[in-house]
Amino acid sequence: MKFKFTFFLILMSFVHIYSQMTIKGVVKDENKLPVSFATAALISAVDSTLVKGSLTDDNGAYIIENVAPGIYKVMASYLGYDNVFSDAFELKPENRGATIDINFLQK
């Protein structure tokens, strides 16, 4: 009985670690220059709810960690620009994550 319980705990920890993924990318302006401190928001493609968010660093890079499998879009926003959405993409349990780069259009 003790062996079964221990095996179950180990199995569940692998399932939890395996199901969490990372989304990363770079936000750039219309001149392909990185946009520092823009907002990168992970949006559910099913119902448009906010799932998680992040700010870009000095190089325009963002990381959104611990994302469950699902269908998402990334929305980038920054003062002076219209919000920009990525195409919808699906994170599956067999994936480790996704790289989604976003370019703002001209102001």
User: Which pLDDT does position 48 carry in this prediction?
Assistant: 95
Question: Are 12 and 86 in contact, with CB atoms under 8 Å apart?
Answer: no
Average pLDDT over residues 16-25: 77
User: Tokens at residue 25, please?
Assistant: 């990318």
Task: Decide if pLDDT at 103 tops 50.
Answer: yes
The CB density around residue 103, as the number of other CB atoms within 10 Å, is: 14
Measured CA distances, 10 to 5, 7, 13 (Å): 9, 5, 5
What would the pLDDT profile of 28-75 be if each residue is shown by its tens digit? 999 999 999 999 999 999 999 999 999 999 999 999 999 999 999 999
Structure confidence at residue 15 as a pLDDT band (50, 70, 90): very low
The CB density around residue 54, as the number of other CB atoms within 10 Å, is: 19
User: Which pLDDT does position 86 carry in this prediction?
Assistant: 96
Task: Decide if pLDDT at 9 tops 50.
Answer: no
